Amino acid sequence: MQCPRCDGKLDRIALIVAEACLCNRCEGVWFDDKNLEKFLKLGEDTLDSSDFYVSLEAQDHGLSLEAPIDCPYCQQRMRRYEYARNSGIFLDACSSHGVWLDDGELGAILKSGKGAARSIPASFSRWLGGWFRGLS
């Protein structure tokens, strides 16, 4: 499958609860259907053994990220939308096939705390649990 942003190759990555595709050139990520929400429910813990680290921090790949793109499956124009209210994170979605995140947008969602079912970062929860255990 070809990247909708730069025509690079999308490499499939198997995750614990979902699959996604990572562009080997512009480092964007494609999630089929509801796989983004499944991925975000597990949050940062899923990233411990994934290939997504390259996509977490935005880098300049010389591409216009505001330019409209087409779905890699049906080649129909995708709709651009703000991921969560007032997040400032804009994604591209095909209502039939999935969602595209440009390089850095996955990291921005995780940092914003607006990922699905995310309110407290996993690392903070682990620290807090250790702190409470230290009181006894």
Residue-averaged pLDDT of the chain = 78
Q: Among 32-36, 60-64, 73-77, 131-135, where is mean pLDDT lowest?
A: 131-135
Burial classification of residue 128, based on how many CB atoms lie within 10 Å of its CB (0-12 exposed, 13-18 middle, 19 or more buried): exposed
pLDDT, one tens digit per residue, over 67-118 is 999 999 999 999 999 988 888 899 999 999 999 999 989 888 888 875 654 4
Q: What is the DSSP letter of 15?
A: -
Q: What is the pLDDT of residue 100?
A: 95
* pLDDT higher at 102 or 127: 102
What percent of the chain clears pLDDT 90, i.e. is strictly above it?
34
Output b/e per residue, 26-40; b: 16+ Cβ within 10 A: bbbbbbbeebbebbb
| pLDDT average, residue stretch 21-26 | 91
The closest alpha carbon to 101, from 52, 134, 135, belongs to 52
Q: What is the pLDDT of residue 110?
A: 82
Q: What is the pLDDT of residue 102?
A: 93
Q: Say if CB 26 and CB 103 are below 8 A apart.
A: yes
Q: Say if CB 15 and CB 48 are below 8 A apart.
A: no
SS3 (DSSP) at 16: coil
